[in-house]
Amino acid sequence: MKKILLMMSLSILLVSTSFAAVNINTASQAELESLHGIGAAKAKAIIEYREKNGSFTSIDDLKKVNGIGSATIEQLRDLVAVEADGAVTPAK
């Protein structure tokens, strides 16, 4: 019985983390690359942009990153979040 409960708990944990939004202000290169449409070059550009210019205030700020356009932003809209006042909120 304990094994079943453990397996159920792990399954719930894995499912819940797979739906968690990626915070574009704190995400690592690997976390950004896990997003559809973001490869190594775009992930690096996002990190370099935020290091140089500070935190993103909305997902639409990604338009300022070289190589990211409106189509990519629309694909990411439900998958990413930005940090606002210390809390992570969806970046819609």
Q: Delineate the domains of the chain, giving CATH numbers in brackets.
A: 21-90 (1.10.150.320)
The predicted pLDDT at position 5 comes to 65
- Render pLDDT for 2-58 as a digit per residue (tens, 0 to 9): 777 666 666 665 544 455 799 999 999 999 999 989 999 999 999 999 999 999 999
CA distance to 4, 6, 14, 71, per residue, from 11 (Å): 10, 9, 5, 33
Note the pLDDT of residue 16.
43
Cα Rg for the chain, rounded, in angstroms? 15
If phi > 0 it is left, if psi is from -120 to 50 it is alpha, else beta; for residue 85 that is left
pLDDT for residue 4? 77
| pLDDT for the residue numbered 2 | 76
What's the pLDDT tens digit per position in 59-70? 999 999 999 999
